[in-house]
Structure 1
Amino acid sequence: MKFQRQCGILLHPTSLPSKYGIGDFGTEAYDFVDFLSNSNQSLWQILPLNPVGYGESPFQCYSAFAGNPLLISIDKLMDEGLLSAQEISEIPQFNDKRVEFNSVRKYKFGLLKKAYEKFKNSMPSHGFERFIRDSHWLEDYALFMSLKDYYDGAAWNNWDKDVAFRKPKALDNYKVLLKEEILYHKFIQYQFFKQWQELRQYSNEREIRIVGDLPIFISYDSSDVWANPSLFKLDDRGNPITVAGVPPDYFSETGQLWGNPHYNWEVMERDGFKWWIDRFSSLLEMVDIIRIDHFRGFESYWEIPYGEETAINGEWVKAPGEKLFKAIKKSLGDIPVIAEDLGIITPEVEELKEKLDFPGMKVLHFILNSGEKELYLPHNFEQNCVVYTGTHDNDTTVGWYRRLLAVNLQEIEFLEEYLDLDNDMTLEDICWRVIEVAYESEADTVIIPLQDTLCLDSDARMNRPGTVGGNWDWRAPKNYHTSALVNKLIKLAKEHYRFLTPCHGDGSPDNLQRQFDVL
């Protein structure tokens, strides 16, 4: 699918300002959409919206289908009459620069419980009943989360054997025992999707399309693996046989050991890759464009024996590639996709991307270096690609340049010449020059992290790959959407013909209204 010439901002909703300690689907999210619209932006890229698990990572979630309860707006629940002003009057003094996940979780979950009590005692909701009926993944997820609470957060393979391996009698017993908790988790998901669809509809009506993220791999400790063990490479005790990661690369000398179980592709193929079709279909009901994370893993993936301490001792194994995407296309038609094709990219991966006609990604932090061939520098980018200064895994542009200043004179000399920098330029000027290079390129799409539009230093980066702790918690300052920033973005969009364009197809307001009516 070809994209129009366009531009946008990368910002995960958790990073939005909010008095509740974490960004959510409340007023600040609508303000951000207005900021995008006022700035001649047409894309809002987010990270996965699923319920976070290990390390608070949106790429290690308890479900590939469910939504993150922490994103539910407390104010919207109050507007609905499910919370009173008195119940939310004593808001803790949260850190406005970092998400304190444990404190936020304790506070918000307490309020969600109160909202649930009011909801269940009110008149029956036909929207809630339809949501339960139409969400094929919900029963397994609600039971999984209820069991996880019952077993004090233990991974599913540490539960009683009969329930871990889904013996029908054991499941029936727990469905009765945990009936109230199961209904509570269904209520949370109903509120999440209702609030998100309201926000998405607001975005699309203002010609802002959402770019959502689809991680290739699934967390081991998830309802997906627990409910569908045959779809994954597990041994007879339920442990992964091999796990996912990437070999040593730019980010880590020992590679990245993600730990996700690998798919049993042979089993998945037998029913025409139904699980994958359901996954793409569900995500397309939430977003307008899908960014496939680690696209190269659909051609071949790095397989590491379970129990290894690093990702070094692995091997590349072939994946179904074109066969999978043909099945998806047969079921869903042409879908709007961005392929994250970073890292070790082989001719086979390039061939698969070109066959599918998916735009790939260009990250200026990787490309702007003296060793890059002239053919691959920004002035020679092809149209069918998406350009970033950096992604959620990169340092900010100010941090990136500052680090080069300290360690690599050769690269600085190259950048000074290529970017036409002079001695009077500040780090902020240089940051905007890098952004401008992205806008100047022939690439159809440009997406810039909000941190770079604010010219923030390394303490504002979102993630440091290969590390655990201190990631995913950055929060944007309350006063980020200044008129000066809006004017800069308008000027860039106009000068480089990246105008605001109407939404079409599945992202149209009419289609969104139909989806919202279901909720």
Structure 2
Amino acid sequence: MHLERASGILLHPTSFPSRFGIGDLGRAAYEFIDFLERSGQKVWQILPLGPTGYEHSPYIMNFSTFAGNPLLISLDRLAEEGLLNSRELLPLPDNHNPQRVDFPRVIAHKGQYLKQAFDCFWESLQSQPNHPFEEFCQQKASWLNDYALFMTLLEQNDGKDWNQWEPAIARREPQALQAKTEELHTRIIYHKFLQFKFFEQWSQLRRYTNNKGIKIIGDISIYVCYNSADVWFAPNNFQLHPETLNPAYIAGVPPDYFSATGQLWGNPVYDWDELKRTNFAWWIERFRATLEYVDWVRVDHFRGFEAYWRVPFGETSALNGEWVTAPGAEFFESLGQQLGSLPVLAEDLGIITPEVEELRDRFEFPGMKILMFAFGEDSRHPYLPHNYTRNSIVYTGTHDNDTTVGWWQTMSPEIRQHVAGYLGYAFPEAIEDINWALIRLALSSIADLAIFPFQDLLGLDNRGRMNDPSTNAGNWRWRYESSTLLTHPLCDRLRYLTQMYSR
């Protein structure tokens, strides 16, 4: 897939400002899209939108790869529909740090209003049918029924992993499932209602975005959470222990830039033989569903489609793992036959071998270049702009990196000097705004796409970091405080550079 020359901003919806403690799909989202249009940006990149669990990672702790995150539902939009009383909507109390999402408090606060909205909806549903809701449930039935039942059972079992539920339910015996479906009918409808409203609001925002000439890059995390509807519903797709139903192996990566002991993600790895037997049906439906609400798909950990690192279940680090070959070429061939042209971007970071590059290039998937990784070695480094190919995406940094300012503040004198020399300065001290220096460098490169985190536009230090892969706790919480930060000078500065470099 070849891209038109363009630029854009990476910002997850949870990072929007909101009086309810977390970004949502309401007014601030539309104000951000207006900012993108005014500043000449043609791309908005987001992280996975699924409902998150432990530590709220959108990559490794989703309860479903098909569902949307109910925390992103705008309460104000529900009030406009008459499902809530706008005068009774109270902001998150004692929100001492509006730049951080306090997930437990947000869940409790928003949860009460979401339940009120459902009660109003449920009452009206008893007297007359809601045809859009019924149509939604029919269209999404392939995953929605199991997801809603899973979430209801998860609540009933106090969040325990599904293999610790009643054995008949854990193993999905039809009679037991039917009995639970009848017993928990109303709560199951509640979870379907949340998905209905999430996708309704997201579809409206996407139409608004596309009508502004802006494309959305979504994200598919290669792995799924063990305690998810995906694994519970289709355990044969994963390498599980037949007796305990625990993962036989878990996913991760060996030691790399981010961690000396590697990263142990904890997700079950796929049974690719089983997936091949079904002609990759689950994966194809996953891509098809994702492309219903985004325009392009960034495939996280793309190298895992060529070979993946698996670690025996029970290990405490990723050191004692092994590489196992995956049928990536066969999968993408099948995906192309089913979906046609593949609007896929490859996250080809980490330990990249010639085989991974061959897989990426065979399907003409654009790869990623990270400016923060470019300096400190010789002039042949592939992330230095003079080595780029057009069919690529350059980032100042991603959600896994520090902000540009935070990175600069911790860099060695040698790397600072390398950066300064590459940018045409005699000394690092001559660089006035390192964030804008790297944004300009990205925009001026020949890479088809240039994307930068919103934190870099704002010039934030490491307090604006979204995720640190070397730690599990405290990530995914950053948000900006107010839409007043979307100033005219900021817009003008970005538009000037964007037009200068024909983005």
Counterpart of 2:477 in structure 1 is 473
The alignment partner of 2:88 has SS state of coil
Note if 1:157 corresponds to 2:163.
Answer: yes
Q: CA deviation at 1:191?
A: 0.2
Whether contact under 8 Å (2:14, 2:22) holds in the other structure is yes
Aligned position for 1:484: 489
1:270 to 274, 277, 291: 277
Q: Which runs of 5+ in 1 are unaligned?
A: 499-519
The secondary structure found in structure 2 opposite 1:252 is coil
Return the offset for 1:469: 1.4
Which residue number in structure 2 is paired with residue 286 of structure 1? 293
Contact 2:467/2:475 (8 A) holds in 1: yes
Q: How does the TM-score come out when normalised to structure 2?
A: 0.96
Q: Pick the aligned partner of 2:207 from 190, 201, 216.
A: 201
Does 1:431 find its partner at 2:446?
Answer: no
Q: What residue is the counterpart of 1:49 in the other structure?
A: 49
Q: Which amino acid aligns with 1:110?
A: Q
Query: In the comparison of the two structures, how many residue pairs are matched?
Result: 495
Question: Which residue does 1:112 correspond to in 2?
Answer: 114
Q: Give the Cα separation in 1 of the matches to 2:209 and 2:45.
A: 12
1:64 to partner: Cα distance: 0.4
Equivalent AA in structure 1 for residue 350 of structure 2? G
Residue of structure 2 equivalent to 1:6: 6
Q: Tell me if the contact between 1:428 and 1:455 (Cα under 8 Å) persists in the aligned partners.
A: no
Aligned to 1:121: 123
In structure 2, which of residues 411, 416, 421 is the aligned counterpart of residue 412 of structure 1?
Answer: 416
- Note closer, same or farther for the CA distance 1:173–1:13 as it changes in structure 2 (3 Å cut): same
CA distance in 2, matches of 1:51, 1:375: 36
* In 1: Cα distance, 2:405 partner to 2:58 partner: 25
* Equivalent position of 1:502 in the other structure: none
8 A contact 2:70–2:194 mirrored in 1: yes
SS at match of 2:377: coil
Residue 137 of structure 1: SS of its match in structure 2? helix
- 1:152 CA displacement: 1.1
Q: Which shows bigger deviation, 469-478 or 4-13?
A: 469-478
The answer for the alignment partner of 2:330 in structure 1 is 323
AA in 1 matched with 2:419: L
TM-score scaled by length of structure 1: 0.94
What is the CA distance between 1:376 and its match in structure 2?
A: 4.8
Once residues 121 and 77 of structure 1 are traced to their aligned partners in structure 2, the CA distance between those partners, rounded to angstroms, is: 15
State the 1:422 CA deviation.
5.3
Write the deviation string for residues 27-66 of structure 1: whole angstroms up to 9, x where unpaired: 0000000000000000000000000012110012000000
SS in 2 for 1:23: coil
Residue in structure 2 matched with residue 455 of structure 1 by the alignment: 459
Q: Structure 2: which 5+ residue stretches go unaligned?
A: none
More deviation in 135-144 or 155-164?
Answer: 155-164
Q: 1:213 to 1:200 in 2, by over 3 A?
A: same
Aligned partners of 1:257 and 1:466 also within 8 Å: no
Aligned partners of 1:52 and 1:58 also within 8 Å: yes
Alpha-carbon distance between aligned partners in 2 of 1:346 and 1:89, rounded to the nearest angstrom: 53
- Determine if contact 2:376/2:414 at 8 Å carries over to the other structure: no
Name the residue aligned to 1:66: 67
Root-mean-square deviation (CA), in Å?
Answer: 1.3
Q: How does 1:161-172 map to 2 (within 5 A)?
A: 161-172=167-178
**Cα-to-partner distance string for 1:1-44 (whole Å, 9 max, x where unaligned):** 11000000000000001111000000000000000000000000
In the alignment, is the contact (CA less than 8 A) between 1:50 and 1:67 conserved in 2?
Answer: yes
Structure 2 counterpart of 1:398, from 397, 402, 405: 405
The match for 1:103 is 105
- For each residue in 1:222-261, what CA deviation from the matched residue of structure 2 results, as whole angstroms up to 9, or x when unmatched? 0000000111100121110011000000000000000110
Q: Is the 8 A contact 2:369 2:383 kept in 1?
A: no
Residues 97 and 187 (structure 1), Cα distance of their counterparts in 2 relative to 1, 3 Å cut: same
| Match of residue 502 from structure 2 | 497
2:236 matched residue in structure 1: 230
Q: Which amino acid aligns with 2:346?
A: A
Distance 1:199 1:301, change over 3 A: same
Query: By how many angstroms is 1:423 displaced?
Result: 5.3
Q: Equivalent of 2:316, from 309, 324, 327?
A: 309
What's the CA shift for 1:369?
A: 2.5
- Quote the offset at 1:74 in angstroms: 0.3
Pair 1:422–1:38, CA change in 2 (3 A): farther
2:382, 2:50 → 1: CA distance?
39
Q: Deviations over 1:48-101 (max 9, x none)?
A: 000001211001200000000000000000001000024314642323110000
Q: What do the CA deviations read for 1:346-379 (whole angstroms, capped 9, x no partner)?
A: 0000000000100000000111223452665212
| Residues in 2 aligned to 1:338 and 1:488: alpha-carbon distance in whole angstroms | 28
Following TM superposition, by how much is the alpha carbon of 1:439 offset from its aligned partner in structure 2, in angstroms?
0.7
CA drift at 1:176: 1.1
Q: Which residue identity is paired with 2:435?
A: C
Letter in 2 for 1:126: H
Which amino acid in the other structure matches residue 84 of structure 1? N
Residues 431, 437 of structure 2: 8 Å contact kept: no
Match of 1:508 in 2: none
Amino acid at match of 1:254: T
Distance 1:9 1:293 in 2: 17
CA distance in structure 2 between the partners assigned to 1:15 and 1:322 by the alignment: 36
Does the aligned pair in 1 maintain the 2:420–2:431 contact within 8 Å? no
Q: Distance in 1 between matches of 2:401 and 2:383?
A: 20
Deviation at 1:124, TM superposition (A): 1.7
- Shift in Å, 1:273: 0.6
What letter corresponds to residue 370 of structure 1 in structure 2? E
Q: Is the 8 A contact 2:24 2:73 kept in 1?
A: yes
Equivalent residue, structure 1, for 2:25 = 25
Identical counterparts, % of pairs: 51
- Distance in 2 between residues matched to 1:89 and 1:464, nearest whole Å: 32
- TM-superposed CA distance for 1:160, in Å, is 1.0
- Corresponding position of 1:512: none
1:430 to partner: Cα distance: 1.8
Sort the Cα spacing of 1:338 and 1:9 in 2 relative to 1 into closer, same or farther, 3 A: same
The amino acid across from 2:479 in the alignment is R
Distance between the aligned counterparts of 1:311 and 1:492, measured in 2?
43
Return closer, same or farther for 1:459/1:91 CA change in 2, 3 Å cut-off. closer
